[in-house]
């Protein structure tokens, strides 16, 4: 199923941006930084956030390789659910309390979002009231994640974003090359967290849910990476 929200046609130049992508610096992906960069160039993606699990090393290296393209980002597993942070300057460790994490990110001036907040199968164990307490620190919510195989998970996320006047963020949650660009925002170009805050106000979103088979990429990657570490 393809989803699309049209953009104001009076806006000037825009780009396509992918806000949720994992490289082989994540334990569940085998995609190299070179492959991510080349895929973006081939698909016409103007910005990509490399959001490896609990690490920024890959994003930092990719940013050195393609500073015009790569946004240094991280997907952080808190003690409850997962947070997506863009334009970060300091890596945040996993398993900290969520309110502590968002305050640390705010101190960095990062753009702060929540990953697939209502998907119970993927690190979304938010306790009642936690997301509401986080709202003052949030810039957006991942209202569409291409790996949410139950559409109601995304619908709940979109409703939460609307209820709390937070920007809709979308992401492919790509762990393989074919997934890159499956869910994107079309928006004015941006080069900082503050510019992103302004750009998302006029963004359009298009996205398509991935096949359940993409989970195989993650499973295989975990096994391969486990053996590589031995």
Question: Domains along the chain?
Answer: 20-203 (3.20.20.140)
Least confident of 35-44, 185-194, 221-230: 221-230
Between 24 and 223, residue with greater pLDDT: 24
Please check whether residue 154 is in contact with residue 143, taking contact to mean a CB–CB distance below 8 angstroms.
yes
69-91: average pLDDT: 97
Please check whether residue 174 is in contact with residue 211, taking contact to mean a CB–CB distance below 8 angstroms.
no
Tell me the average pLDDT of the chain.
92
Instruction: Give the model's pLDDT for residue 9.
Output: 42
Between 33 and 8, residue with greater pLDDT: 33
Place of tokens 């890596």: 91
CA distance 125 to 133: 15
Instruction: Give the model's pLDDT for residue 88.
Output: 97
3-state SS, residue 2: strand
Give the model's confidence band at 225: pLDDT under 50 very low, under 70 low, under 90 confident, else very high.
confident
pLDDT at residue 37 tops 50 = yes
What is the maximal distance between C-alpha atoms in the chain? 55
Instruction: Give the model's pLDDT for residue 19.
Output: 98
Question: Considering the entire predicted model, what is its pTM?
Answer: 0.92
Backbone angles phi, psi at 61, to 5 degrees: -65, -40
The enclosing H or E element of 196 equals helix 193-199
Instruction: Give the model's pLDDT for residue 124.
Output: 67
62-86: average pLDDT: 98
In sequence order, the 6+-apart residues with CB closer than 8 A to the CB of 73 are: 19, 49, 50, 51, 56, 59, 84, 85, 86, 87, 88
């Amino acid at each position: 199923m393809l989803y699309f929200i049209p953009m104001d046609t009076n806006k000037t130049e825009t780009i396509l941006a992918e806000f949720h992508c994992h490289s082989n610096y994540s334990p569940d992906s085998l995609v190299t930084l070179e492959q991510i960069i080349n895929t973006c160039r081939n698909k016409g993606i103007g910005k990509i956030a490399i959001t490896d699990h609990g690490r920024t090393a890959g994003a930092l290296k990719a940013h050195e390789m393609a500073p015009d393209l790569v946004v240094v980002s991280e997907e952080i597993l808190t003690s409850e659910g997962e947070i997506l942070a863009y334009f970060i300057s300091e890596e945040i460790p996993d398993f900290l309390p969520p309110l502590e994490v968002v305050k640390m990110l705010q101190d960095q001036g990062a753009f702060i979002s929540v990953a697939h907040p209502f998907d119970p199968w993927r690190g979304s164990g938010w306790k009642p009231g936690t997301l509401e307490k986080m709202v003052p620190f949030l810039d957006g919510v991942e209202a569409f994640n291409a790996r949410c195989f139950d559409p109601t998970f995304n619908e709940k996320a979109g409703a939460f974003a609307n209820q709390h006047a937070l920007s809709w963020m979308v992401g492919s949650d790509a762990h393989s090359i074919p997934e890159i660009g499956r869910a994107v925002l079309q928006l004015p170009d941006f080069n900082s967290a503050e510019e992103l805050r302004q750009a998302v106000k006029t963004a359009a979103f298009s996205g398509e849910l991935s096949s359940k088979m993409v989970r195989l990429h993650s499973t295989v990657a975990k096994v391969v990476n486990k053996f590589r570490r031995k």
